[in-house]
Structure 1
């Protein structure tokens, strides 16, 4: 197997840590409400109980927002892994309803955020907003500079100071869009989401950090998914 320089650097980073989290993100693409609903029911009654029985916990199942008008709906399932060997325990049974397409992404946590954190949110669960971001780099070298921005530049610390309730920050080890990183933040509601991002954009440290020459042209594509947790989700 050929390993790019970005992955080599991340593996070297992880080898210097006592431990750090691994995650799997599964993105199920569906064709509409009927397919989304049937798949969600399967997750609630069969898939999550199966995963819990196999020893997995703190699994997040995230659904499209009600005002999502995209024809391509996405259900996102996030789960922490004790190690990469856990991947052998994950499988859908033959009763799984149809979906359009499935993307599986394997990730390893950033050095600055080696472990996931459960969100600390207020208000009704139905109002909570989860935002999954994926930043793709134009080259491996530029991508590693964006990772450096989170770790050494302490963009992770900035998010913490502004109370973004981040669940994880991670590097993609295997996926369809590489090199890239992903992170998940959470908010009490959409108004809080909007207010937090305004504060982020106005923050003096962010303006200084983002203006540094070494961090220019590090993201070629940003993918943003706004979601809410399913009622049966562990998160």
Structure 2
């Protein structure tokens, strides 16, 4: 019985969504090698990859670098697919896109010493029913906050996502914490976890919004509920700034 219950929870968490709620996000992180110029990668993104994704109907591709001066430097690429099948099909479509193959030739045929990064990591994230689609910031955003919430097991993650679906999305809206995307990770690092991205005009807007979150009466109510106890055990927070060619 216990085994059946666990399988049921996992199945519900990752697959029990209607088609409109199956947007999938690919969050790539490029970790740069020291002392290598990054121009070939930025040119590839701006002139080849992002235009090719747009031709596939994939819009609002986000490109960011970390706002801090921490090393090694990292660049993040956020791609929103309408579903998991679109993610799977996208790479084949790229290889069959003659414009892309031509525009990307300097990158695709570049030798090892021309590549500015030493590794790429990818997280796949499935949207939650309470926030099913990526939302492009209405106004120009200069500060983005990437947040990853880790849980000790799948049930704890399910309860944390339920907390967002039932209450936290409303609180975020009330206090001015604009979400770009939100979802549970289905592949990648730090699992089980959820990931979301916030957008702000500047650091002052970020500080003002978060200052209203803790005292919000609904937050004060739900943090006392046993249902949500021990649903999260770690938070990763990264501040990002958009690159000039980012579509977010």
TM-score range, shorter chain: 0.7 to 0.9
1:77-96 to 2 correspondences below 5 Å:
77-87=77-87, 88-90=89-91, 94-95=108-109
1:89-141 C-alpha deviation (Å, 9 max, x unpaired):
2368624633122111111111111122111225xx5xx11111111111112
Is the radius of gyration larger for structure 1 or structure 2? 2
Query: What residue is the counterpart of 1:76 in the other structure?
Result: 76
Q: CA deviation at 1:158?
A: 0.8
Within 5 Å, give how 1:107-146 maps onto structure 2: 107-122=125-140, 128-146=142-160
What SS is found at the alignment partner of 1:56? coil
Residue 8 of structure 1 corresponds to 11
1:104 aligns with 2:122: yes
Is the contact made by 2:143 and 2:201 (CA closer than 8 Å) also made in structure 1? yes
| Contact map agreement 1:35 1:99 (CA 8 A) in 2 | no
C-alpha spacing 1:95/1:185, structure 2 compared with 1 (3 Å):
farther
Residue 16 of structure 2: SS of its match in structure 1? helix
Matched residue, 2:210:
197
Tell me the SS of whatever aligns to 2:221: helix
Distance 1:142 1:162 in 2: 26
The offset of 1:48, in angstroms, is 1.4
Q: Between Structure 1 and Structure 2, which shows a larger proportion of helix residues?
A: 2
Contact 1:36–1:73 (Cα < 8 Å) also in 2: no
From 26, 31, 35, the equivalent of 2:33 is: 31
CA distance 1:232–1:200, change in 2 (3 Å): same
Gaps of 5+ in 2: 1-5, 95-103
For 1:26 and 1:98, the matched residues in 2 are separated by: 15
CA distance in 1 between partners of 2:231 and 2:190 (Å): 15
Judge conservation of contact 2:38–2:116 (CA < 8 Å) in 1.
Answer: no
TM-score by length of 2: 0.81
2:97 corresponding residue in structure 1: none
Contact 1:129 1:190 survives alignment (8 Å): yes
Task: Give the secondary structure class of the aligned counterpart of 2:25.
Answer: strand
Kindly indicate whether the alpha-carbon contact (under 8 Å) linking 1:5 and 1:140 is maintained by their aligned counterparts in 2. no
Give TM-score, length-normalised by structure 1: 0.85
User: Is 2:72 the counterpart of 1:59?
Assistant: no
Q: Give secondary structure in 2 for the equivalent of 1:119.
A: coil
* Residue pair 2:147, 2:236 contacting (<8 A) in 1 also: yes
Deviation at 1:80, TM superposition (A): 1.2
Contact 1:169–1:181 (CA under 8 A) maintained in structure 2: yes
Say whether the 8 Å CA contact 2:65–2:76 is kept in structure 1.
yes
Q: Are the structure 2 counterparts of residues 132 and 19 from structure 1 closer, same or farther at C-alpha, using a change threshold of 3 Å? A: same
Q: Which moved more, 1:129-138 or 1:19-28?
A: 19-28
